[in-house]
């Protein structure tokens, strides 16, 4: 399955990236293809394009703060979780897909 | 025929002890009776008694009448009149004032739940000290000494008379033995009280009229004059209660011998001396090797005892509440950094103070490493790192911190907040002390930068609309020529004692420096005429802070020996920006390419003419700008003392050609932001590495999350990566409040962005015993990777590395390698290899 995701935590130093890594690792393990956009202290990295979002089945939003350009995700099914959930038990998020 | 002289009190603080004693000194030289009448209160005083003068409670502008009658009344009235007109107005004294701490007491996290008892006080001498509580202070007659029913009153009077004479002589001997300074001033003041006519009369009278014993008479005198002082509305006089008590206690001891000396404490081990109040003499008699800390309930907010404690560096709290409840001999900590007296030292509290000592000692050890060395770049080019100071007391601290000279002594502090300017002797003494502290190193003293925003009441300058562009510094010297001459004379004479250079502030035109040089030359000529020694080669320099001077530097080079760039004002004037205005503060950016080009023009011109040039603005104190300033080609950078060691350490990591290249590239930038990017890139490559072996601790020791975070932040402090560890700690805790940074698997990654961080850093702590952390998996933590980033950093190299590090922590193999590795160097190398730095 094609999945997109966004991670964003308040400080944007550590957990944004840890959550991204956790989602990427778990997706690989479960045989999904995933692209994770991080919105941390360095701004938007690995930015998701319109076509990547449109081509995905679901968007995992592991965010604790309001993200930049949220309108890009208006037309896609979203699973919204706290950043902590992505770190603690990423499998549980994928189970909701 | 009695003569009189009327005047109104010229002293803003009224006639307190110092002016009273000066008046007494004059009056006692005549045989005529001198009576001072305060016409506001109707009280009259014997002008030959300090206590009596003080009792008249003369306040600012009170109408007074001086009446003189006796054989030499004409000479007396002439001398006293001259004294009141000319000298009295200058008898103002300034004691330091301390403001009580306000708001909620914020304890460090480690102490919050420690269970220790905290008594809040106002810290007046900083530092942390531990010892056993010893109570002291106050005046009281020991139990068992008879107070009344003397039979032979004449013999009792003789006893007191003799003891008083002996005490007066003793004060004199001790004062001359003490040399110059606070201690001697104090002893002289006490001698004046002891030889006061009223004081003696009061003692003798109590014996004759009321059959009091010597002890009774001394107790009465103590009570009476204490009341005179404490009833006064003048707060400066409240302080003198301690002096009266001191003299009375000394006298009591003289009459009855040492067995009554119950108050002179013998300290037997490290001690925290606790008292309602402590007299200066009581302080001086304490064994300063064992006196670790001082806690006073009273002492107002200004006192000589506090001044003494400061000069001895004894951590001191005043205004501490409920000290009655303190148990003698209990262990206590004076924490004058936080402002608390800590008792009931629980294990947690003891651990905290052990950590505090390790933090402070650790920093000292690192500072000794750099502070003691001359500042050079890695490739061996010297750039002097000197200190900016505003009072002579700061000089010692600056040299201890590693200053290679004084690059700027701002003298305006000497002139502020007083009724009249300091005279030549006072200034000479202060300049001398700085030169003494410098011990052969260069001292640059800047003549007063007063006027403008630093108004002096005695100059009567009209307020201006735009004081920064107004009548100040060298611009006011011609109008107040005598004031300038006095300072110049004091400086010229001080030059005899060590290398001293004079710097003139706010120079904008050649005429100003020529005028100042003419005055200096005239004062030097006077010194020759009076055969006073001075340094004929004393250098004269100009502070470069007005942009016009930068464009006339060739001409200035022909007039002066050196320059120092005052970058704060230079930038404000150059960019036409008031940095206090937050709306335009972003314009106040020393990285403006135009400003860097201005600096280059100044330094190039100075160097082409072989003139020494330094920089003494705040820009110099910021480690971030150091590579640029090194590349600029300055001879010296002068900064506040705490910044010195950090700058030396940073400089030792830089190569001059790299810095020169960086500066050349910065000059070509179009905007300040571009320079900033360049600088960040340079810093990432050259400054303190994000990761370093000294930031890795194997077998770290902490029993709680609070302690673990403190350990990490203390390490940052020890290695000069922050100057405000508590602010960094709080930022980490603020982040921790969102949710725990305990990732699970025994790893935690506390982190923050904070402006209190000087160098982006990663600390790795591996704990010998796991630490509770409320982690995601509820397991305790064995490894803490603490990451701190400067507030303004965003897309830097360091951020990328930190984010890569955070990603790595999610990998089991990465965690396993860290757990296995027991060598800091190898662990550091492993981390670097994994995250590409």
Distances (CA, A) of B575 to A19, A97, B71, B551, B617: 46, 59, 71, 16, 16
Count of C-beta atoms within a 10 Å radius of residue B816: 11
pLDDT at B795: 59
**Which of B776, B777, B794 lies closest to A41 in CB terms?**
B794
Chain B residues whose CB is inside 8 A of the A28 CB are none
Check CB contact under 8 Å for B807 and A21: yes
Q: What's the CA gap between B177 and B187, in Å, rounded? A: 10
Chain B residues whose CB is inside 8 A of the A41 CB are 753, 789, 793-794, 799
Nearest to B764 by CA among B714, B663, B695: B695
Instruction: Report how far Cα B104 is from the mean position of its chain's Cα atoms.
Output: 25
Chain B, nearest residue to A19 by Cα: B807
Averaged pLDDT, groups of 10, chain B, 837 residues long: 86 78 86 92 88 84 91 90 82 51 73 89 88 80 82 92 93 80 75 90 94 93 85 69 83 77 71 82 79 81 66 84 80 93 93 95 82 87 94 85 93 79 92 95 96 77 81 94 97 96 97 97 96 96 97 96 96 89 85 97 97 94 92 95 84 94 97 91 76 94 96 94 89 88 91 85 95 90 93 72 89 94 94 82
SS in 3 state form for chain A?
CEEEEEEECCCCCCHHHHHHHHHHHHHHHHCCEEEEEEEECCEEECCCCHHHHHCCCEEEEEECCCCCCHHHHCCCCEEEECHHHHHHCHHHHHHCC
pLDDT at B603: 98
Instruction: Quote the minimal CA–CA distance from A66 to chain B in Å.
Output: 15
SS3 B554: helix
Chain B residues whose CB is inside 8 A of the A11 CB are 735, 738, 751-753
Check CB contact under 8 Å for A17 and B741: no
Q: What's the CA gap between B163 and B218, in Å, rounded? A: 12
Chain B residues whose CB is inside 8 A of the A22 CB are 810
Instruction: Quote the minimal CA–CA distance from B440 to chain A in Å.
Output: 50
Q: What's the CA gap between B62 and B209, in Å, rounded? A: 35
Catalytic residue annotation of B: 16, 304, 616, 751
Instruction: Quote the minimal CA–CA distance from A17 to chain B in Å.
Output: 6
Check CB contact under 8 Å for A21 and B743: no
Chain B residues whose CB is inside 8 A of the A84 CB are 739, 776
Q: What's the CA gap between B133 and B330, in Å, rounded? A: 5
Count of C-beta atoms within a 10 Å radius of residue B698: 14
Check CB contact under 8 Å for B799 and A38: no
Distances (CA, A) of B317 to B119, B120, B133, B297: 10, 9, 14, 8
Instruction: Pick out chain A residues at pLDDT < 70.
Output: none
pLDDT at B104: 63
Chain B residues whose CB is inside 8 A of the A13 CB are 751-753, 787, 789, 799, 802-803, 806
Interface test with chain B among A10, A14, A28, by most B beta carbons within 10 Å? A14
Check CB contact under 8 Å for A41 and B793: yes
The residues with which A81 forms a beta bridge, in sequence order, are: A62
Instruction: Quote the minimal CA–CA distance from A85 to chain B in Å.
Output: 9
Instruction: Quote the minimal CA–CA distance from A77 to chain B in Å.
Output: 27
Q: What's the CA gap between B307 and B749, in Å, rounded? A: 46
Instruction: Quote the minimal CA–CA distance from B776 to chain A in Å.
Output: 6
Chain B residues whose CB is inside 8 A of the A92 CB are none
SS3 B547: helix
What are the residues whose beta carbons fall under 8 Å from the beta carbon of A73, sequence distance 6 or more? A6, A53, A59, A61
Q: Are B801 and B828 in contact (CB under 8 A)?
A: no
Chain B residues whose CB is inside 8 A of the A42 CB are 794-795, 799-800, 803
pLDDT at B302: 44
Q: Which element (helix H / strand E) includes B541?
A: strand B539-544
Q: What's the CA gap between B260 and B783, in Å, rounded? A: 62
Instruction: Quote the minimal CA–CA distance from A14 to chain B in Å.
Output: 5
- Chain A residues interacting with chain B (CB cutoff of 8 angstroms): 9-11, 13-18, 20-22, 25, 38, 40-43, 64, 82, 84, 87-88
Check CB contact under 8 Å for A25 and B749: no
Check CB contact under 8 Å for A17 and B807: yes
DSSP string, B86-153: IIGGG--------PPP-S-----HHHHTS--EEEE-EEEE--EEEEEEEEE----PPTT---S--S-H
Check CB contact under 8 Å for A38 and B803: yes
Chain B residues whose CB is inside 8 A of the A82 CB are 739
The residues with which B615 forms a beta bridge, in sequence order, are: B565, B637
Give the number of beta-carbon pairs within 8 Å between A and B.
Answer: 71
Interface test with chain A among B677, B684, B739, by most A beta carbons within 10 Å? B739
Count of C-beta atoms within a 10 Å radius of residue B384: 19
The residues with which B4 forms a beta bridge, in sequence order, are: B67
Angle at B236 between CA B232 and CA B237, to 5 degrees: 40
- Chain B residues interacting with chain A (CB cutoff of 8 angstroms): 735, 738-739, 741, 743-744, 749, 751-753, 776-777, 787, 789, 793-795, 799-800, 802-804, 806-807, 809-811
Nearest to B64 by CA among B4, B18, B2, B16: B4
pLDDT at A12: 86
Check CB contact under 8 Å for A10 and B735: yes
Check CB contact under 8 Å for A21 and B789: no
Chain A residues whose CB is inside 8 A of the B728 CB are none
Catalytic residue annotation of A: 9
Instruction: Quote the minimal CA–CA distance from A40 to chain B in Å.
Output: 9
**Which of B776, B795, B802 lies closest to A43 in CB terms?**
B795
Q: What are phi and psi of B338, to 5 degrees?
A: -90, -30
Check CB contact under 8 Å for B794 and A88: no
């Amino acid at each position: 399955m094609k999945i997109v995701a966004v991670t964003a935590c308040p400080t944007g130093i550590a957990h944004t990236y840890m959550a991204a890594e956790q989602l990427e690792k778990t997706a690989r393990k479960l045989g999904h293809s995933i692209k994770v956009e991080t919105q941390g202290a360095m701004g938007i990295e690995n930015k998701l394009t319109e076509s990547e979002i449109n081509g995905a089945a679901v968007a995992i939003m592991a965010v604790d703060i309001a993200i930049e350009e949220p309108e890009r995700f208006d037309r896609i099914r979203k699973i919204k979780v706290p950043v902590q959930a992505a770190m603690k038990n990423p499998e549980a998020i994928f189970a909701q897909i | 025929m009695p003569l009189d002289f009327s005047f109104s009190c010229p002293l803003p603080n009224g006639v307190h002890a110092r002016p009273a004693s000066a008046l007494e000194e004059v009056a006692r030289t005549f045989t005529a009776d001198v009576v001072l009448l305060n016409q506001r209160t109707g009280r009259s005083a014997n002008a030959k008694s300090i206590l009596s003068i003080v009792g008249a409670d003369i306040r600012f502008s009170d109408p007074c009448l001086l009446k003189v009658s006796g054989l030499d009344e004409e000479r007396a009235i002439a001398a006293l009149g001259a004294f009141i007109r000319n000298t009295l107005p200058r008898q103002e004294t300034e004691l330091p004032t301390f403001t009580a701490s306000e708001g909620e007491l914020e304890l460090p996290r480690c102490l919050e739940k420690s269970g220790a008892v905290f008594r809040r006080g106002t810290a007046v001498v900083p530092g942390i000290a531990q010892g056993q509580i010893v109570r002291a202070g106050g005046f009281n007659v020991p139990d068992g000494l008879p107070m009344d029913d003397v039979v032979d009153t004449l013999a009792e009077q003789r006893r007191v008379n003799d003891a008083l004479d002996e005490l007066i002589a003793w004060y004199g001997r001790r004062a001359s033995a003490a040399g110059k300074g606070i201690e001697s001033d104090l002893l002289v003041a006490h001698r004046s009280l002891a030889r006061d006519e009223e004081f003696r009369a009061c003692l003798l009278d109590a014996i004759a009229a009321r059959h009091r014993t010597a002890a009774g008479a001394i107790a009465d005198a103590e009570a009476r004059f204490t009341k005179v002082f404490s009833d006064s509305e003048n707060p400066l006089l409240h302080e003198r209660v301690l002096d009266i008590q001191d003299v009375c206690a000394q006298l009591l001891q003289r009459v009855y011998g040492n067995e009554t000396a119950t108050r002179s404490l013998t300290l037997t081990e490290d001690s925290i001396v606790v008292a309602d109040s402590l007299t200066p003499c009581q302080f001086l008699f304490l064994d300063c090797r064992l006196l670790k800390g001082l806690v006073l309930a009273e002492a107002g907010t200004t006192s000589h005892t506090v001044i003494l404690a400061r000069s001895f560096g004894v951590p001191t709290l005043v205004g501490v509440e409920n000290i009655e409840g303190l148990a003698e001999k209990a262990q206590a900590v004076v924490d004058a950094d936080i402002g608390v007296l800590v008792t009931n030292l629980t294990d947690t509290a003891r651990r905290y103070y052990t950590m505090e000592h390790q933090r402070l000692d650790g920093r000292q050890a690192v500072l000794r490493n750099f502070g003691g060395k001359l500042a050079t770049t890695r490739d061996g080019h010297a750039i002097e790192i000197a200190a900016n100071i505003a009072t002579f007391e700061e000089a010692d601290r600056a040299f201890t911190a590693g200053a290679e000279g004084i690059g700027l002594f701002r003298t305006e502090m000497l002139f502020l907040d007083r009724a009249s300017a300091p005279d030549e002797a006072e200034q000479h003494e202060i300049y001398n002390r700085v030169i003494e502290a410098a011990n052969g190193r260069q001292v640059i003293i800047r003549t007063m930068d007063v006027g403008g925003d630093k108004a002096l009441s005695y100059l009567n300058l009209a307020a201006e609309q735009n004081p920064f562009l107004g009548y100040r510094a060298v611009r006011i010297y011609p109008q107040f020529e005598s004031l300038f001459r006095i300072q110049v004379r004091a400086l010229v004479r001080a030059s005899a004692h060590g290398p001293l250079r004079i710097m003139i502030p706010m120079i904008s035109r050649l005429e100003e420096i020529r005028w100042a040089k003419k005055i200096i030359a005239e004062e030097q000529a006077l010194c020759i005429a009076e055969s006073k020694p001075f340094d004929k080669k004393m250098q004269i320099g100009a502070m470069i802070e007005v942009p016009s001077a930068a464009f006339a530097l060739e001409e200035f080079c022909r007039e002066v020996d050196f320059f120092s760039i005052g970058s704060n004002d230079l930038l404000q004037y150059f960019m036409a920006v008031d940095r206090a205005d937050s709306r335009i503060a972003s314009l106040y950016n020393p990285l403006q390419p135009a400003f860097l080009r201005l600096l280059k023009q100044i330094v190039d011109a100075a160097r082409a003419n072989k003139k020494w040039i330094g920089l003494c603005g705040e820009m110099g104190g910021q480690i971030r700008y150091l590579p640029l300033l090194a590349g600029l080609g300055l001879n010296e950078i002068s900064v506040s003392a705490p910044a010195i060691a950090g700058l030396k350490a940073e400089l030792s990591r830089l190569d001059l050609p790299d810095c020169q290249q960086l500066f050349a590239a910065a000059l070509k930038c179009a905007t300040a932001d571009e320079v900033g990017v360049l600088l960040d890139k340079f810093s990432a490559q050259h400054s303190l590495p994000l990761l370093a072996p000294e930031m890795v601790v194997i077998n770290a020791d902490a029993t709680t999350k609070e302690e673990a975070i403190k350990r990490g932040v203390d390490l940052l402090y020890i290695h000069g990566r922050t100057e405000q560890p508590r602010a960094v700690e709080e930022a980490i805790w603020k982040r921790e409040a969102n949710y725990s940074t305990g990732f699970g698997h025994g790893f935690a990654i506390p982190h923050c962005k904070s402006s209190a961080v000087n160098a982006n850093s990663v600390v790795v702590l591996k704990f010998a015993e796991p630490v509770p952390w409320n982690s995601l998996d509820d397991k305790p933590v064995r490894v803490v990777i603490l990451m701190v980033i400067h507030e303004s950093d965003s897309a830097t190299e360091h951020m990328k590395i930190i984010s890569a590090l955070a990603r790595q922590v999610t990998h089991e193999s990465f965690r396993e390698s860290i757990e296995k590795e027991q060598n800091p160097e190898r662990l550091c190398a492993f981390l670097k290899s994994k995250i590409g730095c």
